[in-house]
């Protein structure tokens, strides 16, 4: 009896560490994670959060993150201060290690249960019946870039300047919801209900941290910067809604946004997607050329692409580029590196560059649709 009581006592004491260990074990079973977590626990939990916070007319996620950031900084400084004296007085005891492991386990468990396990589900390639290649060639990227240039010129020619000037962010959110409704008729797993997409209240915080939009797993909100260039919004909105559906990987969220735009029959959404993919494909091709040391070819490709793009497409790209260039030096030191490491920790081996991996999925989708 005493032995049983001791086991229960130790079990209660180490409960957070035990749960953390069990969650780590779950990550080795992606099919189980998708079935039990993404398509059940997360699906209904996220939907409940969207219902609870959706009626609030402003985003509360930003303020919550700001509060947590301040709290984290305070606790880190406080903990380091205490550890300094513990080391000095040689009382860095077993109890101290227990406290550290417990606090780390609490953070890990909460993160995994509200969002993190989504990184460990099986990829949507099975749902879409795709054979996604492991890599692409420079020739494939060249071919994709040329194809996208043709598409960009054609799509932009049917979008008037007055139409672009009159487009409002709120109307793009409504359009995105309609497009998700349409695509869900073909792919039921993309069904999206109880929408909760809001505008950021603290854009300057976005400048410092470096985000354009994000999904807040605690509130269920998809939060977008209202000052984004209008032609980046359609793709970004669809990307964040994909996160709300449980697609945690940036590659997969980009792919869902790509599929939504491709099937939307909406010139504005198609054009925004084409702009994004062309940026990715051209960067990928130029990176491979630069890596080979053939800088004459690098210059030739840049000049060729610029000559082939219509003046209006070039102007749109210039506007988007100017927005990002104006803010690239405002980020807090290390914020980009920290985010890069966060993505690597969560099974996205290419870190920030994982956004570009949508090109692999696009190749697979195009091959299937051919």
pLDDT (tens digit, 9 = 90+) per residue, 163-176?
A: 999 999 999 999 99
Q: Sorting pLDDT into bands at 50, 70 and 90, what band is 84?
A: low
pLDDT in the model for residue 233:
97
Alpha-carbon distances of 143 from 86, 155, 358, rounded to whole Å: 62, 18, 16
| Structure confidence by residue, pLDDT tens digits, 94-126 | 666 777 788 888 889 999 999 999 999 999 998
Residues 44 and 6 in one domain: yes
120, 147, 173 — which closes off a domain? 120
- Residue 35's domain comprises 2-120
Same-domain check for residues 58 and 155: no
158 and 229, same domain (yes or no): yes
pLDDT reported for residue 369: 84
Find, among 334, 367, 339, the residue nearest to 353 by Cα: 339
| Residue 189 banded pLDDT, cuts 50, 70, 90 | very high
For residue 65, what pLDDT is reported?
81
The reported pLDDT for the residue numbered 62 is 86
pLDDT at 10 over 80: no
Question: How crowded is the C-beta side of 366, counted as CA atoms within 13 Å?
Answer: 13
Q: Which residue has the higher pLDDT, 148 or 211?
A: 148
pLDDT at 346 over 70: yes
- Residue 81 pLDDT > 80: no
Residue-level length of the chain: 370
Average pLDDT over residues 207-227: 89
One domain, residues 110 and 216: no
Q: Is 297 exposed, middle or buried (0-12, 13-18, 19+ CB in 10 A)?
A: middle
248 and 344 within one domain: yes
Strands (E), 97-173: none
- Asked whether residue 77 falls in the same domain as residue 189, the answer is no
Average pLDDT, the chain: 88
Q: Quick one: pLDDT at residue 254?
A: 96
358-359-365-370 Cα dihedral, nearest 10 degrees: 160
pLDDT value of position 154? 98
pLDDT the model gives residue 101: 81
Q: What is the mean pLDDT of residues 193-210?
A: 85
Our CA dihedral for 172, 284, 318, 362, rounded to 10 degrees, sits at -20
Q: What is the predicted pLDDT for the residue at 288?
A: 94
- In sign, the C-alpha dihedral spanning 305, 307, 313, 315 is positive
Is 187 or 209 the better-scoring residue by pLDDT? Answer: 187
pLDDT score recorded for residue 330 = 64
What confidence tier does 352 reach under pLDDT thresholds 50, 70, 90?
A: confident
What does the alpha-carbon distance between residue 60 and residue 77 come to, in Å, rounded to a whole number? 26
Higher pLDDT, 207 or 67: 67
Q: Reduced to 3 states, what is the DSSP secondary structure of residue 222?
A: strand
Mean pLDDT throughout 223-243?
A: 95
Residues 68 and 153 in one domain: no
The residues pairing with 222 across neighbouring beta strands, listed in sequence order, are 197, 215
Q: Which of 74, 72, 62, 132 is nearest to 104 (CA)?
A: 72
Interatomic CA distance for residues 45 and 57, integer angstroms = 21
Higher-confidence position of 283 and 208: 283
> In the prediction, which pLDDT does 80 show?
65
Which pLDDT belongs to residue 335? 65
Nearest CA to 184 out of 251, 130, 238 is that of: 238
Q: What's the rounded Cα separation, in Å, for the pair 153 and 159?
A: 10
Q: Is the pLDDT of residue 358 over 80?
A: yes
Out of 76, 92, 120, pick the residue that ends a domain.
120
Which of 79, 102, 120 lies at the terminal end of a domain, its last residue? 120
What is the mean pLDDT of the segment spanning 273-294? 95
Report whether pLDDT(91) > 80: no
90 pLDDT tier (thresholds 50, 70, 90) = very low
Same domain, 54 and 20: yes
Q: Do 140 and 220 reside in the same domain of the chain? A: yes
C-alpha 139/C-alpha 109 separation (Å) is 44
Predicted TM-score (pTM) of the model is 0.91
Cβ neighbours for 54, distance < 8 A, ≥ 6 positions apart? 194, 195, 196, 220
Q: What's the first-to-final CA gap in the chain, in angstroms? A: 69
| Mean pLDDT in residue range 315-342 | 78
Helical (H) or strand (E) element with 213:
strand 213-216
Residue 78 confidence class, pLDDT cut points 50, 70, 90: confident
Residues 6 or more apart whose CB falls under 8 angstroms from that of 87 comprise: none
Domain tally for the chain? 2
Q: How confident is the model at residue 3 (pLDDT cuts 50, 70, 90)?
A: low
Asked whether residue 34 falls in the same domain as residue 63, the answer is yes
Q: Is the pLDDT of residue 88 over 60?
A: no
Distance CA 161, CA 209 (A): 33
Mean predicted confidence (pLDDT) in 31-53: 96
The edge-to-edge listing of strands for the beta sheet with 221-224 is 197-199, 221-224, 213-216
Reference 216, options 53, 35, 39; nearest CA is 53
Q: Taken in order 308, 313, 319, 321, is the CA torsion positive or negative? A: negative
Residues 134 and 28 in one domain: no
94 and 141 share a domain?
no
Say if residue 281's pLDDT is above 60.
yes
């Amino acid at each position: 009896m005493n032995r049983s009581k001791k086991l229960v006592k130790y079990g209660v004491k180490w409960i957070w560490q035990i749960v953390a260990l069990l969650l780590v074990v779950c990550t080795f079973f992606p099919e189980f994670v998708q079935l039990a977590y993404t398509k059940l626990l997360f699906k209904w939990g996220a939907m409940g959060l969207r219902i609870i916070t959706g009626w609030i007319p402003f985003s509360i996620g930003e303020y919550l993150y700001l509060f947590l950031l301040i709290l984290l900084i305070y606790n880190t400084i406080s903990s380091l201060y205490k550890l300094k004296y513990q080391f000095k007085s040689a009382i860095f005891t077993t109890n101290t290690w227990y406290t550290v492991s417990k606090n780390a386990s609490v953070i890990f468990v909460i993160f995994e249960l509200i969002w993190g396990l989504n990184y460990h589900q099986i990829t949507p390639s099975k749902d879409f019946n795709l054979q996604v290649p492991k890599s692409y060639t420079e020739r494939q990227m060249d071919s994709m870039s040329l194809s996208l240039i043709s598409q960009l010129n054609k799509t932009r020619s049917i979008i008037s300047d007055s139409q672009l000037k009159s487009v409002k962010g709120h109307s793009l959110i409504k359009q995105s919801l309609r497009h998700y409704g349409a695509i869900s008729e073909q792919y039921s797993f993309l069904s999206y209900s109880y929408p909760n997409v809001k505008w950021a209240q603290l854009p300057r915080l976005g400048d410092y941290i470096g985000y354009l939009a994000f999904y807040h797993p605690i509130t269920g909100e998809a939060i977008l910067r209202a000052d984004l260039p209008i032609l980046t919004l359609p793709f970004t909105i669809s990307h964040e809604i994909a996160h709300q559906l449980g697609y945690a990987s940036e590659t997969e969220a980009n792919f869902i946004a790509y599929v939504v735009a491709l099937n939307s029959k909406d010139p504005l959404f198609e054009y925004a997607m084409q702009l994004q993919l062309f940026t990715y494909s051209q960067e990928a091709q130029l990176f491979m050329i630069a890596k080979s040391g053939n800088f004459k070819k690098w210059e030739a490709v840049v000049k060729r692409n610029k000559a082939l793009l219509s003046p209006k497409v070039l102007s749109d790209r210039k506007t988007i580029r100017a927005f990002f260039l104006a803010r690239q030096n405002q980020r807090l030191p290390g914020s980009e590196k920290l985010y890069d490491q966060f993505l690597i920790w969560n099974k996205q081996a290419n870190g920030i560059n994982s956004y570009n991996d949508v090109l692999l999925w696009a190749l697979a989708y195009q091959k299937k649709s051919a």
